[in-house]
Amino acid sequence: MHKLNALIAGSTGYIGVQLIKLLVKHKNIKIKYLCGNSSVGKNISLFDKSLKSKKLPNIIKFDKKYLKDIDIIFTALPNGEAQKISKYLLKRNTLIDLAADFRLKKSSEYLKWYKQKHKAINNIKKSIYSLPEISGNKIKKYKIIGCPGCYPTSVLLPLIPLIKNKSIQTNNIIIDSKSGYSGAGRSVHKKYKNKNLYESLSAYGIRFHRHNSEIDQELKNYTNSIINFTFTPHLTPMFRGILSTIYVDLKPGFSIKKIFKIMKKFHKKNVFVNVLKINSLISTNDVINTNYCNISICETKYKNKLIILSALDNLIKGGAGQAIQNMNLKFGFKINEGIK
């Protein structure tokens, strides 16, 4: 079977390593190049011992000359770097970015939230923001694919079906999300050196967390009503996983049973979304090391208010696994290939 050649730029970060661990199992992919900066010449097994037995190339510095024999470029780089690479794309190349370079559809919003000018404005319109359960086959038309952030994935998968069906109020949605510290990358210990990551829970990014822009942009695709939500992220003393707790008010005429039916019907064919029984108490432990998102709809003491729980692995469903899911959609592979 002919395999597609892949290049991974940013191969030594938590997301990059996770991506490699999944791609080595993908029967349609050959990892041709692994790229990095400070690790040039080293073997990727230094960053994960489980890759020692795999026949993988040593890490090299990225050069556009490598694109001539590459089908897919995965970029797990600091924000701004995938924009530069997008300018070099050849006809045969597809770029799948796991950072934020092609998540926002307005360069002005990118500047506002990421505090840097977009370096490939003309390529924004050539890109698609692809939450695979939502974008579906539309992805096939695009050569540049922006993968959602981990927090927005946990929020959009449960909220889009309800907003699309006009079943919840959109003027006061409260989102409380808790993530493992791997979501902050390998520099997390330097960035939060004054916090005890292993024994404390920390709120951060209140008001101006970058994922606010992404959530707002995508929810507005499904309603003409004003979207008002409050999003508060937290770092937890665990390595991986996200649990989002979302508080919503029902519109008149809707009950928890109707909400459950709407969610269940929407995600019926989405193999990586599990809508659990009403009032299921879910845990990140249920989804760790998988590409699944588990969703539970729970009652409160008020009939018109519900709590929605959403759990996923930030490095897989919120990162590398979702990127592979997008690739599978783009190239017509089995949707669960490499991420079973």
Counting residues of the chain whose pLDDT is more than 70, the rounded percentage is: 96
* Average confidence (pLDDT) over 250-271: 97
Do 184 and 217 lie in a common domain? yes
pLDDT at 187: 60
Counting residues of the chain whose pLDDT is more than 90, the rounded percentage is: 87
Q: Could you list the residue range(s) of the whole structural domain that residue 97 is in?
A: 4-148+318-331
pLDDT at 313 over 60: yes
Residue 340 inside a domain? The answer is no
Do 198 and 104 lie in a common domain? no
Residue 74 inside a domain? The answer is yes
pLDDT at 189 over 60: no
Do 167 and 83 lie in a common domain? no
Of 114-123, 186-195, 199-208, 211-220, minimum mean pLDDT range: 186-195
Check if 298 is active-site: no
Token couple for 235:
């770092």
For 30-40, write each residue's pLDDT tens digit.
999 999 988 89
Residue of 35, 147, 150, 293 marked catalytic:
150
Residue 174 inside a domain? The answer is yes
Residue 338 inside a domain? The answer is no
Do 114 and 221 lie in a common domain? no
Do 212 and 284 lie in a common domain? yes
pLDDT at 1: 60
Quickly state the pLDDT bin for 287 (edges 50, 70, 90).
very high
Do 163 and 276 lie in a common domain? yes
Of 119-123, 200-204, 331-335, minimum mean pLDDT range: 200-204
**CATH number of the domain where residue 115 is located:** 3.40.50.720
pLDDT at 140: 96
Residue 62 inside a domain? The answer is yes
pLDDT at 195: 67
Count of domains for the chain: 2
pLDDT at 321 over 70: yes
Q: List Cα–Cα distances, 284 to 123, 142, 246, 294, 307, in angstroms.
A: 36, 33, 15, 9, 17
Inter-residue contact 15 to 319 (CB < 8 Å): yes
pLDDT at 186: 65
Inter-residue contact 321 to 291 (CB < 8 Å): yes
Do 113 and 192 lie in a common domain? no
Residue 337 inside a domain? The answer is no
- The bridge status of strand 59-60 relative to strand 4-9 is unpaired
Quickly state the pLDDT bin for 191 (edges 50, 70, 90).
low
Quickly state the pLDDT bin for 194 (edges 50, 70, 90).
low
Residue 175 inside a domain? The answer is yes
Average pLDDT, the chain: 94
**CATH number of the domain where residue 279 is located:** 3.30.360.10
Quickly state the pLDDT bin for 196 (edges 50, 70, 90).
confident
Do 144 and 67 lie in a common domain? yes
pLDDT at 162: 98
Do 222 and 259 lie in a common domain? yes
Do 255 and 140 lie in a common domain? no
User: Is 296 or 41 the better-scoring residue by pLDDT?
Assistant: 296
**Backbone φ and ψ of 120, nearest 5°:** -145, 55
User: Which of 16, 308, 330, 328 is CA-nearest to residue 156?
Assistant: 308
Quickly state the pLDDT bin for 18 (edges 50, 70, 90).
very high
* Average confidence (pLDDT) over 105-118: 96
For 50-103, write each residue's pLDDT tens digit.
998 888 999 999 999 999 999 999 999 999 999 999 999 999 999 999 999 999
Residue 114 inside a domain? The answer is yes
Do 305 and 159 lie in a common domain? yes
Do 73 and 28 lie in a common domain? yes
